[in-house]
Structure 1
Amino acid sequence: MKKIILFADTGIDDAIALIYAVKNPEVDLIGVVSGYGNIDREKAYRNIEYLLELAGRTDLPVIAGVTRPLSGEDPVFFPDIHGSEGLGPIDPPIPEERYANRTNFSKLFRLIKENPKEVTIVNVGRCTSLAIAHYLSPEVMEDVKETYLMGGAFHVPGNATEVAEANFFGDPIAADFITQNVKNLTIIPLNVTRDAILTPEEVNFIDSRADSALEELIKPILDFYYEVYQQLEPGIEGTPQHDLAALMAALEIEGLFQYRRREVSVEDAGEYTSGESVADFRPGTRNCFGPGCSRIALRINEEVFVSNVLEILTNHR
């Protein structure tokens, strides 16, 4: 069982990752950090608490992260993709204003210090809160065992721009800092998460086994997401579960991913390339080792992905 702290900007795919985490007996979720990204920080916090309440896990600490990128610019949100509240058609009955003025990294640092060398961080939103944690207390963050990052795009187009994936594009300064400075870093990029698809038939199967308010959320939010993706990519077979794929990577499920090790940087100044993830995959290049070397997922086994997701999301934990 892995002790995991999830950093999320709780839109639809983040919500599915969180539901998977609380239902998987191999995950010891010890905290969740909310941040801006798909929606603003307060809505992300509210959505996390709403989902944890439905899961009967109000014991889990929720930590308010940051509200904007390191550049200081106003963030851009995506209500057309995730809905105005972040959960598609769902309007959580909790006012987001309750969560203003709550940034509290000391709670995050306490969780890490209480579990030295045991915590796995899974960051599925913008990299800003994670970067700030490293800036504020590098000594404490040295006690993190490993970090998994959903971000970047290698060998494929971006989804925020022609070359940039949304998490890296949302704060390229923070993403570049994380990729170049965080040890034991695994990157789960768009080129594999784009293939981590759940079809409508698979979603219907999950829904047929739902027996709780939490599980009954899965179909309406993924149906909403599917309609969005039919506009973005007409004919796509289902909905890519970007953030869920990154969380599953942390569990080291046998045969799920194939990896290469490369040094990674993120362009943070280019007029046309801001947020682009850069690694050297030219013929003849080899795996790197040591500090500054990231493990990058390049292929996903879709059958292993779907089989595991169906097993976990239809159990009755």
Structure 2
Amino acid sequence: MLTPRSINVFKIYEAVAKHLEQYPQERDRFPNFSSANKPFIVQGAEAPLEGSIHSAQYFHGRDGLGGITERHPDLNVNLPDQLTDHPYLRPSNRSAIDLTLELITSYPRKLTYVALGPLTNLAYLLRANVSAVRDGIGRVVCMGGALDVPGNTSPVAEFNFFADPHAVEEVLLPPEATLGLPLERFLLLPLDITTPHELPFPLYKDKVDNTFESTEAPSKAEDKPPLHHFTSSFLERAREVMLEFGKDAMELHDIVAIWCAIENPPVHSQGEGEIPRLRQGWNAVKRKFQVERTGELTRGMLVVDRREDLQSAYSPGANRAQVQAELERMHVEHARFESSAVPAQVDVEEAPHARDIEGVACIVETPGPEEIVRLLLTRVWGVRGVA
């Protein structure tokens, strides 16, 4: 059965199909948009491992695309409840777990699993066949968590980890190392690195759609190419929400994770316990943390023991990103993760049944916010000559 979120995939493909009908000369920008190379679309988990469902409707709307279902009915697609065929997609009634296990087994160490939401499906995947996943997964790239910056769902938690912290525990911090993912094949992109990457809406208006405004002046299909109309339609509401937070730009959290996955495919010779090997311009460091699962105020928080992690021990309440930016602005020589305060040396008491946490590789450097904006403008909208 199709869900609102899965229907959005069909809307995206419909928009691209209409665009290429009008502009066939732009097909080179979409090399994998082909009836000969259909992606599967399957149903994943309906709820977190434990507890109630949390959503981000305040930002994405009830339909997941800023309410375009009601505001732009011309972008809706008419699909039967049981869809078995599509020109560009392969809908399947199989479970996401079964299909993913089959693909991992069929393409050992070749596939990248990109997690752009809660880690629920990945946790169920490990429960279904932990040895097959550990042996066969090529790489996992995950957008989630907040280490040294505030959260975006609560003061301390990012949405994906807030929505299912129990899944984070099972995937990254299981009681036995053989139950979770091999961390040398896992890359985490927390808010610390994704938030600075953003697409300014005035730039989008200047380069892509000069009629773009907000829901008060909704996009009109007859004024622009189909793909531009589609993106402007769902960005209208996003702009209004971001302006409420004092920023006229779209933060590119998930897009940075996809970019990372494309640029850094699996490496077969990766040694156990190593930081995943990355291409030039990308860098990661290992961070050790626990995840708060049941806290009344701290659900989904990544808790770093700064008594031991002196490298990341900042002044109480300090925003690490702001400290680093200020040091760079003043051209002060400093290590990339230099502390702004030296913590008091204390005896760290070993907790009962404490486990040795290997550390999770977290992306701390990309080729830069300007580069992802240039790629988006060029690849998605065909804007040429962007510096």
TM-score interval, smaller chain: 0.7 to 0.9
CA gap of 1:303–1:216, structure 2 versus 1, over 3 A, is same
Partner SS, residue 168 of structure 1:
helix
Shift of 1:152: 0.3
CA gap of 1:145–1:215, structure 2 versus 1, over 3 A, is farther
Shift of 1:191: 1.5
Which amino acid is 2:249 matched to?
A: G
Which residue in the other structure is 2:203 paired with?
A: 202
Unaligned runs of 5+ in 2: 18-32, 70-75, 84-91, 174-179, 211-222, 265-278, 313-336, 338-355
Partner SS, residue 297 of structure 1:
strand
Which residue in the other structure is 1:224 paired with?
A: 237
Runs of 4+ off more than 6 Å: 99-102
- TM-score normalised over the length of structure 2: 0.62
Structural mapping, 1:269-308, within 5 Å: 269-279=294-304, 282-284=309-311, 292-300=358-366, 301-308=368-375
Which residue in the other structure is 1:14 paired with?
A: none
Partner SS, residue 45 of structure 1:
helix
What does the per-residue CA deviation read over 1:122-180, in whole Å, with 9 as the maximum and x for residues that have no partner?
A: 10001101111111122331201110110000111111111011000000000122222
Which amino acid is 1:128 matched to?
A: T
The answer to whether 1:107 aligns with 2:99 is yes
The answer to whether 1:174 aligns with 2:167 is yes
Which amino acid is 2:370 matched to?
A: E
Is the 8 Å Cα contact of residues 147 and 186 (structure 1) preserved in structure 2? yes
Residue 63 of structure 1, aligned match among 19, 39, 42:
42
Is the 8 Å Cα contact of residues 70 and 128 (structure 1) preserved in structure 2? yes
Structural mapping, 1:1-317, within 5 Å: 42-56=3-17, 57=33, 59-71=38-50, 73-91=51-69, 92-94=76-78, 103-142=95-134, 143-180=136-173, 181-183=180-182, 184-204=185-205, 205-207=207-209, 213-231=226-244, 233-234=245-246, 236-252=247-263, 257-279=282-304, 282-284=309-311, 292-300=358-366, 301-315=368-382
Q: Percent identity?
A: 24
Q: Is the deviation greater in 275-284 or in 179-188?
A: 275-284
Could you say which structure has the higher strand fraction?
A: 1
Work out the CA distance in 1 between the residues paired with 2:252 and 2:280.
18
Which residue in the other structure is 1:25 paired with?
A: none
Work out the CA distance in 2 between the residues paired with 1:98 and 1:227.
36
- TM-score normalised over the length of structure 1: 0.75
Which residue in the other structure is 2:273 paired with?
A: none
What does the per-residue CA deviation read over 1:180-224, in whole Å, with 9 as the maximum and x for residues that have no partner?
A: 22221111011221111101133232347x986345312221232
Shift of 1:85: 0.9
Is the 8 Å Cα contact of residues 179 and 292 (structure 1) preserved in structure 2? no
Higher RCO, Cα 8 Å, sep 6+? 1
Work out the CA distance in 1 between the residues paired with 2:57 and 2:143.
20
Work out the CA distance in 1 between the residues paired with 2:93 and 2:39.
20
Is the 8 Å Cα contact of residues 197 and 237 (structure 1) preserved in structure 2? no
Instruction: Please report the RMSD computed on the Cα atoms of aligned residues, expressed in angstroms.
Output: 3.2
Is the 8 Å Cα contact of residues 264 and 277 (structure 1) preserved in structure 2? yes
CA gap of 1:46–1:146, structure 2 versus 1, over 3 A, is same
